[in-house]
């Protein structure tokens, strides 16, 4: 409705402006209330679902490591090679459609005895392989340090060769390396795979790396 303001009194104009202001305020309040209610509903709904999903993942993780631990113990019963290993293994279903990888990472550090072990290794190489540069290079690469630290995974390669030589420096070096290592914590990891179109595809259990349709994401 069009109003000719020229024929309105000051009081009437003020009343119209007041009414318009009140309607604008009411509309803004309604939008704010709708947003705040939607925010509250979203927070509660997603949080409850996250709690339920987190509990499910905790149960699944416990089941995974208990099941794989039992399987690994059975594997150790008839496989001396595996019982001496680091605990890493891969298993596949009979139809080769599913695969599970298990790996164990032990964190820790070498103490000062590792320096003495390294000297024994160098003495061993100089006395036994003075003319064998290939073997010397291989073992020296194992002894290489990254940021002044030995790599336990590399040193474990020497452990696997322990019985290959009977030299006193060699045996003492291996012994000291083993004594020098102090583990601080162990982390276990599992990865699940399914075969699609002849190729292995990872079953993604990492929330942050799951790809979803753009229409469902915040743009």
Mean per-residue pLDDT, 183-199:
93
Instruction: From residue 154, give the alpha-carbon distance in Å to each of 86, 157, 159, 171, 185.
Output: 13, 5, 9, 17, 18
Q: How far apart are CA 162 and CA 121, in angstroms?
A: 12
More confident position, 34 or 8 = 34
Contact 218, 130 (CB under 8 A): no
With cut-offs at 50, 70 and 90, classify the pLDDT of residue 43. Answer: very high
The model's pLDDT over 51-94, given as tens digits with 9 standing for 90+, comes to: 999 999 999 999 999 999 899 888 888 776 544 456 788 999 99
Q: In what order do the strands lie in the sheet with 199-202?
A: 89-92, 98-110, 181-196, 199-202
| pLDDT in the model for residue 124 | 94
175 token code pair? 């012994």
Using DSSP, state whether 104 is helix, strand or coil.
Answer: strand
Which tens digits make up the pLDDT trace of 91-147? Answer: 999 999 999 999 888 889 999 999 999 999 999 999 988 778 888 899 999 999 988
pLDDT at 78: 74
pLDDT of residue 3: 64
* Token pair for 215: 């229409």
Confidence of residue 8 (pLDDT cuts 50, 70, 90): confident
Length of the chain: 219
Q: Is the predicted pLDDT of residue 217 greater than 70, yes or no?
A: no
Alpha-carbon dihedral 207, 208, 214, 219, rounded to 10 degrees: 130
């Amino acid at each position: 409705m069009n109003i000719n303001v020229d024929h309105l009194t000051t009081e009437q104009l003020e009343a119209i402006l007041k009414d318009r202001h009140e309607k604008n305020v009411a509309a803004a309040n309604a939008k704010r209330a709708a947003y705040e209610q939607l925010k509250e509903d979203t927070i509660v709904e997603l949080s409850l679902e996250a709690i339920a999903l987190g509990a499910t993942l905790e149960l699944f993780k416990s089941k995974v490591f208990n099941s794989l631990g039992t399987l690994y113990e059975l594997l150790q019963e008839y496989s001396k090679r595996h019982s001496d290993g680091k605990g890493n293994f891969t298993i596949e279903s009979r139809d080769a459609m599913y695969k599970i990888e298990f790996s164990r990472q032990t964190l820790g550090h070498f103490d000062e005895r590792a320096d003495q072990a390294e000297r024994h290794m160098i003495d061993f190489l100089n006395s036994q392989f003075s003319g064998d540069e290939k073997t010397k290079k291989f073992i020296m690469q194992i002894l290489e340090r990254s940021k002044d630290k030995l790599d336990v995974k590399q040193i474990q390669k020497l452990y696997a060769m322990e019985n290959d030589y009977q030299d006193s420096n060699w045996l003492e070096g291996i012994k000291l390396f083993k004594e020098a290592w102090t583990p601080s914590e162990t982390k276990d990891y599992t990865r699940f795979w399914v075969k699609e179109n002849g190729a292995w595809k990872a079953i993604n259990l990492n929330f942050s790396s799951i790809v979803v349709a753009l229409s469902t994401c915040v743009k």
